Structure 1
Amino acid sequence: MNMPPSLTEPHRLKLRIEDFTLLDHAGVFDAYGKVELIDGVIEVMNAEFRRHNRIKNYLTRRLQRALEDIGSRYEAFSESSLALPSHDLPQPDVIVARGGSDDRYYEVRDLAIVVEVADSTVARDLGVKCALYLAHGVPEYWVVAVASGEVHQFWDPGVDGFAARRMVPLEGELTSATMPALAIDGRGLL
């Protein structure tokens, strides 16, 4: 009997979100801290230093206040799992999304903005993570580059990449490209 090469040759087994969830609920990852599922592979994230944690929390609070000030139905959340079917379950540092009380992961349909704070991961966040969010149609993506003190903003996802992008120094106002009424003060985040 001739079997297709994909069944007879060694190959990578990509976990699905539901596989990852079962493992997580069984406590498999308890000893590892923060883990993500990226392209079907379980990735253990570095422990968070105080600076990273501080920036992430300040950013979340500032975004939440600004959303309330403009009367938005969106909220800012920290460390939320984002289901990008069927093999990706990243945990961005901050998301701006519609909240809910149901028992499911956030999905792209819930999102306005995804934010990664990049202290030691700027290349990854501008590379692999940017491509991941682009591929799934995330409306707006920010990378807070700690070392350079600027925010890389990407929006308008398309087949050739994000159609629009800009870099903004964290020295003044930081405005969303897709929600122009949403603006925060970037000073003092770093």
Structure 2
Amino acid sequence: MTTTGLHLWTIDDYHRMIEAEILTTEDKVELLEGQILEMSPQQPPHAATTQRTWKYLSRLLANRADIRVQLPVTLPPNSEPEPDIAVVRFDSREYLDGHPTTDDIFLLVEVADRTLNRDCKQKARTYAKAKIADYWVLDVNMRQVYVFREPTDNSYAQEITLDENATLSLVAFPEVEVRVKELFP
């Protein structure tokens, strides 16, 4: 019996596929742990929650961080996801020379209506491996937030779930209070 291996792509491979137009803007994909995965289409609750969260965090973090919506982040050696929200350091060139990397990222947020399992397992593992200190999953259906902190090699040592009546702060900005109910429309 012959078995075949799985070829994992690097970030450089991924960028070459984009430059060669093997992957185009019509391909709704992202690179996670060396695999090119299709991204789920957005339903209105997902889009509305993403928009609301972006506006709310933009107000709270004005003059402290840049808030990027559904744009790539580069997590070497083999991940370039497009989180729904990325709270990153200001860059005077607006990341013209490259996407934000681990050292630039304060918080990543995924909004989940049909992707909760993937976001809490696969994406959490990817972000933990990249040492992302603060990762949130907004569960649109239950109106709660899964908070992942203290990254280890393959997971997070701290995982908590907060309902819409809770408040929390970003690891990078502990003085900023985030009211969970304000993240949801």
TM-score (norm 2): 0.87
Stretch of structure 1 that moved more, 108-117 or 159-168? 159-168
Alignment pair present for 1:76 and 2:67: yes
* C-alpha displacement of 1:91: 0.7
* C-alpha displacement of 1:172: 5.3
Unaligned runs of at least 5 residues, structure 2: none
Q: Specify the alignment match of 1:11 in structure 2.
A: 5
One of 10, 18, 22 as aligned partner of 1:24: 18
1:140-179 paired onto structure 2 within 5 Å = 140-159=134-153, 161-171=155-165, 173-179=167-173
Alpha-carbon contact 2:128-2:154 (below 8 Å) kept: no
CA RMSD in angstroms comes to 2.1
Alignment pair present for 1:67 and 2:58: no
Please give the secondary structure, in 2, of the residue aligned with 1:30.
coil
- Say which structure, 1 or 2, has more relative contact order (CA 8 Å, 6+ apart): 2
Alpha-carbon contact 1:32-1:44 (below 8 Å) kept: no
One of 40, 49, 57 as aligned partner of 2:51: 57
**Which of these two proteins has the greater Rg computed from alpha carbons?**
1
Instruction: Kindly indicate which of the two structures has a greater share of residues assigned to strand.
Output: 1
Alignment pair present for 1:35 and 2:26: no
Unaligned runs of at least 5 residues, structure 1: 1-7
Alpha-carbon contact 1:139-1:157 (below 8 Å) kept: yes
- Deviation track 1:44-86 (CA, whole Å, cap 9, x = no partner) reads 1122122211111110111111011xx42x1211112111111
- Deviation track 1:18-58 (CA, whole Å, cap 9, x = no partner) reads 11112123332336442101121111112212221111111
Moved over 4 A (4+): none
Tell me: CA distance 1:159–1:41, structure 2 relative to 1, closer, same or farther (3 Å).
Answer: closer
- Deviation track 1:161-181 (CA, whole Å, cap 9, x = no partner) reads 423232111235343244212
**Aligned partners of 2:155, 2:45: CA distance in 1, in Å?**
31
**Aligned partners of 2:8, 2:46: CA distance in 1, in Å?**
30
**Aligned partners of 2:15, 2:120: CA distance in 1, in Å?**
27
Identical positions, percent = 24
Please give the secondary structure, in 2, of the residue aligned with 1:106.
coil
TM-score (norm 1): 0.85
Stretch of structure 1 that moved more, 157-166 or 19-28? 157-166
Q: Supply the AA of the counterpart residue of 1:66.
A: L
